[in-house]
Amino acid sequence: MTTTRPRQGRPRHTPPSDPGTPAREQILDAAGALFVERGIAGTSTRMIAERVGIRQASLYYHFATKEDILAELLATSVRPSLRMVERILALVPERADPAAALYAVAAMDVRTLCRTPYNIGTLYLLPEVRAERFDAFRAERGRLQASYGALGTLAATEDVARSLSAERIGELLIQLVEVVIQIRHSREPDPADTDAIASSCLRLCGLDERAVAMARGEAGILLSGLDSMC
């Protein structure tokens, strides 16, 4: 009697990067690495699938195009900060000092950018990200920048608030926070970098060292309280 062996599925091109990680997360991880290494135009869905170790058709089950993958990666670099800043803004000024709130937002945003795989923030300025397909990402980053402007204006000294509009303050603050993207080009940021960047945000708003130190301490309490509510 002849037995028929069950037909084996098409083998993976390469072993999966982490069998315990969901395929969608593996795709995002592989795409992030390739986008940073080779750019958007130099990366194909076939290359992403091969990096993960799955068939290209399997990738399409999760994402229709590489642009969809990029959109998701960009969103993960902004949305956590946007959610947190909106929660913190709701506490100002009744329950949180604006300077402490600004320090907390900046510190948390730096940490978020440090956690993004393969320094995804380097993709922000690529020409492809200016396409209409990424309007949602740019709108969310714009909301984050506007929130920085609102907090910065509330925290700023009278002289700074008179000389700079909320829009300009927001633009300067978000650029200051995103300097951590450049730091990651040469080394891994550490907690001292987080404090230096968040403190510099307050100095940009005109606060002196005593006010910065007070805000730093209050920001720690504020963030601990928000974490306990999650």
Tens digit of each residue's pLDDT (9 = 90 or more) over 204-223: 999 999 999 999 999 998 88
CB 103 within 8 A of CB 215: yes
Roughly what angle, to the nearest 10 degrees, separates helices 166-177 and 191-204?
160
CA–CA dist 204, 198 (Å, integer): 10
229 burial via Cβ count (<10 Å: 0-12, 13-18, 19+): exposed
Query: pTM for this structure?
Result: 0.83
- Span 151-191, pLDDT tens digits: 999 999 999 999 999 999 999 999 999 999 999 989 999 99
Question: Residue 54 pLDDT > 90, yes or no?
Answer: yes
**Angstrom distance (rounded) from CA 200 to CA 207:** 9
Q: How confident is the model at residue 11 (pLDDT cuts 50, 70, 90)?
A: very low
Looking at residue 55, its pLDDT comes to 93
Q: Which residues does 133 contact at the CB level (< 8 Å), separation at least 6?
A: 67, 71
Percent of the chain residues topping a pLDDT of 70 = 90
Q: What is the pLDDT of residues 104-153, one digit of tens each?
A: 999 999 999 998 888 888 888 888 899 999 999 999 999 999 999 999 99
